[in-house]
């Protein structure tokens, strides 16, 4: 039986700005996102019966209709009236509810994989439109690479990759919900806005230093005071020598960017004692 494999990489936000709250309840955002090497992996295989079966060794995620990969399979199957079954195995490596879009990336990988397995011949653009029904980050996860995202995150412009560097991810053991963080954001009264033009320019010029200087995420205005661990991890990473430090998405994961490999072990080991 044919098996299809898809990688589902985690994303980090190099920049996350909120322009305003919309009438439909979503926030109008401007984000610059890039994929990192950390990834989940999905294995997909035809099932002899017309059913979606999802398994995973990870004990901490739902495996039914609540799972985004399951929802993606259901969506593409129903929309294109596919009368075939699929067995999906999810190898979970991305921390859950971390601000790394793990669930969205799993959904994107399921859509890409099932498009191949069921020979639907949908274009990436068509998959992105379908993916937007599942979540704001799903279209970017389908496209991958690096992109500027606007609207509620679904309007994408692909970018060159950022300068190569090491990325250190640190997730404190706290649970926060994206909806809750956005709900607490004073979108009309933000103390600062990061500059997307500066970040785009840094990427265009491949300037690692300027990329680090242009990092910014307005959701930190909610999390840093409410969750002191996030602030402490940021300060710790800076002290240990990271060149750029920022919270990803709605957190709580903090990422550190480092240009020299020699610094990576020092920062990693320093954080372990945190």
* Partner residues linked to 5 by β-bridges: 43
Ranges within 158-197 binding ligand ATP (CB under 6 A) = 178
| Cα 158 from Cα 132, distance rounded (Å) | 17
3-state secondary structure of 152: coil
98 annotated as ligand-binding: yes
216 binds ligand ATP (CB under 6 A): no
Least CB distance from residue 265 to ligand ATP, whole Å? 26
- Does residue 217 interact with ligand ATP by CB under 6 A? no
- Please state the closest distance from residue 97 (CB atom) to ligand ATP, in A: 4
- Contact with ligand ATP (CB under 6 A) among 9, 102, 162, 244: 102
* Residue whose structure tokens are 């929802």: 71
Strand blocks (E) in the chain: 3-21, 27-47, 52-56, 85-91, 146-150, 155-159, 166-170, 216-217, 244-247, 254-258
Give the residue numbers marked as catalytic: 11, 137
The verdict on 99 binding ligand ATP (CB under 6 A) reads yes
Distance in Å, CB of 5 to ligand ATP, minimum = 16
Q: Which residues pair with 6 in a beta bridge?
A: 42
Q: How far apart are CA 182 and CA 250, in angstroms?
A: 8
Subset of residues 31 to 90 that bind ligand ATP, contact rule: CB under 6 A: 61-62, 66-69
159 assigned to a ligand binding site: no
What residue ranges bind ligand ATP (CB under 6 A)? 61-62, 66-69, 96-104, 106, 137, 178, 249-250
């Amino acid at each position: 039986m044919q098996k299809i494999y898809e990688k589902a990489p985690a994303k980090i936000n190099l920049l996350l700005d909120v322009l305003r709250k919309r009438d439909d309840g979503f926030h109008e955002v401007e984000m610059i996102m890039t994929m990192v090497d950390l990834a989940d992996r999905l294995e997909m295989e035809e099932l002899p019966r017309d059913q979606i079966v999802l398994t995973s060794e990870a004990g901490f995620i739902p495996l039914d209709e609540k799972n985004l990969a399951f929802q993606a399979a259901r969506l593409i199957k129903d929309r294109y009236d596919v009368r075939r079954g699929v067995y999906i195995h999810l190898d979970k490596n991305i921390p859950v509810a971390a601000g790394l879009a793990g669930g969205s990336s799993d959904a994107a990988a399921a859509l890409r994989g099932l498009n191949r397995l069921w020979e639907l011949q949908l274009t990436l653009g068509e998959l992105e439109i379908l993916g937007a029904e599942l979540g704001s980050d799903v279209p970017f996860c389908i496209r991958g690479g690096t992109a500027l995202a606007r609207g509620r995150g679904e309007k994408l412009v692909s970018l060159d990759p950022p300068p190569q560097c090491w990325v250190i991810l640190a997730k404190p053991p706290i649970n926060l919900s994206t909806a809750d963080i956005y709900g607490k954001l004073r979108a009309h009264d933000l103390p600062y806005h990061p500059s997307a033009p500066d970040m785009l320019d840094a990427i265009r010029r491949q300037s690692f230093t300027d990329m680090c200087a242009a990092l910014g995420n307005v959701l930190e205005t909610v999390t840093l005071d409410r969750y002191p661990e996030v602030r402490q991890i940021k300060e710790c990473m800076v002290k240990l020598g990271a060149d750029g430090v920022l919270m990803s998405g709605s957190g709580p994961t903090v990422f550190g960017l480092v240009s020299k490999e020699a610094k990576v072990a020092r920062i990693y080991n320093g954080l372990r004692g945190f």
